[in-house]
Amino acid sequence: MVNYDRLEKKIGYSFKDKDLLKTALTHSSYASEHKMNYELNNERLEFIGDAYLDAVIGHKLFDIMKTSHEGVLSRNRADVVREESLADIARKINLGDYLNLGKGEELNGGRNKDSILSDAFEALLGAVILDSGFGQCEKIVLELFADKIQLAVDGKLNKDYKSRLQEKLQEKYRSVKISYVLTSTSGPDHDKTFNVQVEMDGKVLGSGTGKSKAKAEQAAAKEVLSKGDI
């Protein structure tokens, strides 16, 4: 059995149910390869962790930024919980070392992919919730994200490209409808590539690709920003 002591020490929490922790660290590629039941991969736990992470970070920002309006709070929360930020936290606790990956993902560097690390981190939070409740999970989140929350409050945390594009377009046009449209996907299930285009009021502004829909959206927004004509 895998020894999770170092990981548990990094997050300051010891699981009562180690099977929950194992599930949080099991990628769908591994579960599929080993003919495991769907509930034994980390996607369901990720669903719980994702929702709760948004709530905890949002609540903390609400408490700190007492005079900020909803739009500012939403943008700051997005900066703190974006995929790259979660992957950064995951790397700090060496989460990739403990992942159960299928052979394909292992060969393709899955242990260091932002998408896999961020999803596994959210699943880890979901597992904590099921193991000990929301209070324990909140404690872990606020400890691990303290620096990023403060940077966001100080306006020093890099904004994601989607947020920056949204702000620029709203400054210039005030009322606009921005949407990200998935145009195609390619590749096998364990290594898909997503193609997305960003539109403003139905007009295509740019496009991007990535190993997740979220990364493709960021790439599309980055392309529009790089043109410098908005």
For residue range 174-227, list pLDDT tens digits in order.
778 899 999 999 998 888 899 999 999 889 999 999 989 988 999 999 889 887
Tokens of 113: 């992919």
Catalytically active residues are 50, 122
Copy the structure tokens of residue 139: 């404690």
33 in Cβ contact with 107 (< 8 Å): no
Report the predicted TM-score, pTM, of the whole model to 2 decimal places. 0.71
Instruction: Extract the tokens encoding 218.
Output: 């960021």
> 172: which residues sit within 8 A by CB, 6+ positions away?
230
Contact 219, 212 (CB under 8 A): no
Q: Which domains does the chain have, with CATH numbers?
A: 5-158 (1.10.1520.10), 162-227 (3.30.160.20)
**Does residue 35 or residue 164 have the better pLDDT?**
35
Q: Which residues pair with 194 in a beta bridge?
A: 185, 210
Task: Give me the DSSP letters along 184-202.
Answer: EEES-GGG-EEEEEEEETT
Segment (H or E) for 183: strand 178-186
